[in-house]
């Protein structure tokens, strides 16, 4: 496995050299446990793969009590490890049905604010998600709330073009919270299904930038709770004379009755959910846990999106993270193409973590 690619060699070596814990006769009768040396090698491999000492120790303790039909059969041990790890991560996997039915059990407007460290993959993930939702027939709008970095607006605009979605922008250095407010107003008026907000990369040590997050959360809440602004067309009608207006209103009423179903749909859209998703770069190892902690101090996180899983990093740190934290991992990004984003799957993740060859792949999901 990568993770265990090295340890697999360890493991194979250990299995062939180390004395097994039981005689072959006993093994045939009741299976065998792994040798201490093998267990030690596996523990080291897990620590190297960013699972952390505590988590590695727990896994190895379980492994130590497990009997295998043939402890020199690597695939049997791997299979057991995969199952163990997938079990630890399953609570972070969003049920497939919820994913298919528009993410997060929600049938109204879902606002996703992507945040994270510099270069984590926020902008490209925003573009990929927009393309994915739009393609499924969900009206999606992007908001370029990274007003901090000069080139950010252009970068996200290119993604909007590729994804074929509308984008709301503002001038560089303008207030990102005000832009988020305006973007949500527009998403509501346009009856959108998804609003994806890209934000500036920030170090958790940068107090000023971190303070922008609760401000953005307040702005979005304020817009969410304010009455739906009338669109420009409606405002124009106010300037017409009363008789004309009466006629138009009558017509509108009839249309509404005819399109009862459509109207119901619009009403439903007024359910608005706002979620802050932390974008985590898989290559950052154990640091992932710290980021979740630090960002949570400023804004309530609703989920995670893990990027760069196509790299040699396998984000082993998600395993201990999942033990302490049940934040859903909504998506993983596994490349730079617009289609390189897929729902997180605990089983595939575990297979990738515990593999020797490179057969397990999110691209198959």
Ligand X SMILES: Nc1nc2c(ncn2[C@@H]2O[C@H](COP(=O)(O)OP(=O)(O)OP(=O)(O)O)[C@@H](O)[C@H]2O)c(=O)[nH]1
- Where along the sequence are the contacts to ligand X (CB under 6 A)? 116, 118-124, 146, 149, 152, 201, 307-308, 310-311, 333-336, 340
- Please say which residue, 33 or 301, places its beta carbon nearer to ligand X: 301
Q: Return the number of the residue (166 or 334) whose C-beta is nearest ligand X.
A: 334
Report which residue's Cβ sits closest to ligand X: 201
Residue 317 tokens read as 């740190």
Q: Which is nearer to ligand X, 201 or 302 (CB)?
A: 201
Other C-beta atoms closer than 10 Å to the C-beta of 227 total: 6
CB of 146 to Mg ion, least distance (A): 5
CA distance 207 to 180: 20
Closest distance to ligand X from the beta carbon of 253 (Å)? 47
CB of 215 to ligand X, least distance (A): 18
E strand spans, the chain: 109-115, 140-145, 166-168, 194-199, 272-281, 301-307, 329-333, 341-343
Report what 343 binds from Mg ion, ligand X, none; CB cut-off 5-8 Å by kind. Answer: none
Where along the sequence are the contacts to Mg ion (CB under 5 A)?
Answer: 122-123
Q: List the single partner that 308 binds among ligand X, Mg ion, none, CB under 5 to 8 Å by kind.
A: ligand X
Measured CA to CA in angstroms, residue 8 lies from 78, 152, 164, 217, 348 at distances of 9, 43, 45, 46, 19
- What is the arrangement of strands in the sheet containing 194-199, beginning at the earlier edge strand? 166-168, 140-145, 194-199, 109-115, 272-281, 301-307, 329-333, 341-343
Nearest to ligand X of 3, 63 (CB atom): 3
Q: Of Mg ion, ligand X, none, which one sits near residue 355, judging by CB under 5 to 8 A according to partner kind? A: none
Rounded CA separation 88/357 (Å): 23
- Residue 128 interacts, among Mg ion, ligand X, none and using kind-specific CB cut-offs from 5 to 8 Å, with none
Instruction: Kindly tell me which of 125 and 360 has the beta carbon lying closer to Mg ion.
Output: 125
Spell 230-266 as b/e; 16+ CB within 10 A means b.
eeeeeeeeeeeeeeeeeeeeeeeeeeeeeeeeeeeee
Question: Considering CB distances under 5 to 8 angstroms, the limit depending on partner class, which of ligand X, Mg ion, none binds residue 293?
Answer: none
324 phi-psi bin (left φ>0, alpha ψ -120 to 50, beta other) = alpha
Please state the closest distance from residue 151 (CB atom) to Mg ion, in A.
9
Least distance in angstroms from the C-beta of 334 to ligand X:
5
Q: Which does 307 bind (CB under 5 to 8 A by kind): Mg ion, ligand X, none?
A: ligand X
Q: How far is the CB of 259 from ligand X (least distance, A)?
A: 40
Q: Residue 96 or residue 174: which is nearer to Mg ion going by CB? A: 174
């Amino acid at each position: 496995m990568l993770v265990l690619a090295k340890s697999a060699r360890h493991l194979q070596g250990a299995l062939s050299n180390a004395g097994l814990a039981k005689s072959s006769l006993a093994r045939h009768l009741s299976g065998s446990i792994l040798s201490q040396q093998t267990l030690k090698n596996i523990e080291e491999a897990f620590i190297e793969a960013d699972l952390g000492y505590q988590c590695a120790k727990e896994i190895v303790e379980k492994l130590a009590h497990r009997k295998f039909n043939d402890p020199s059969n690597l695939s049997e041990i791997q299979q057991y490890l995969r199952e163990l790890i997938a079990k630890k991560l399953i609570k972070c996997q969003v049920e497939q049905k919820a994913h298919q039915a528009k993410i997060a059990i929600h049938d109204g407007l879902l606002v996703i604010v992507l945040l994270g460290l510099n270069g984590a993959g926020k902008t490209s993930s925003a573009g990929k998600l927009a393309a994915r939702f739009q393609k499924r027939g969900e009206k999606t709008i992007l908001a370029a709330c990274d007003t901090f970095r000069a080139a950010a607006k252009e970068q996200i605009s290119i993604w909007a073009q590729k994804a074929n979605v509308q984008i709301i922008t503002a001038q560089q250095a303008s207030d990102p919270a005000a832009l988020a407010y305006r973007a949500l107003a527009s998403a509501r008026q346009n009856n959108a299904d998804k609003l994806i907000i890209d934000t500036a990369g920030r170090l958790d040590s940068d107090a000023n930038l971190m303070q922008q997050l609760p401000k953005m959360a307040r702005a979005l809440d304020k817009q969410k709770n304010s009455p739906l602004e009338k669109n420009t067309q409606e405002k124009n009608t106010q300037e017409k004379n009363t008789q004309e207006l009466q006629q138009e209103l009558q017509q509108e009423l009839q249309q509404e009755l005819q399109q009862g179903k459509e109207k119901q749909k619009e009403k439903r859209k007024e359910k608005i959910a706002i979620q802050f998703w932390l974008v985590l770069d898989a290559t950052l190892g154990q640091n992932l846990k710290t980021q979740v902690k630090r960002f949570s101090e400023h804004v309530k996180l609703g989920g995670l999106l893990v990027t760069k899983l196509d790299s040699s990093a396998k984000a082993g740190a998600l395993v201990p993270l999942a033990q302490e934290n049940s934040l859903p991992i909504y998506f993983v990004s596994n490349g730079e193409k617009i289609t390189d984003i897929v729902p997180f799957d605990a089983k595939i993740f575990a297979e990738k973590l515990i593999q020797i060859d490179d057969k397990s792949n999110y691209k198959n999901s």
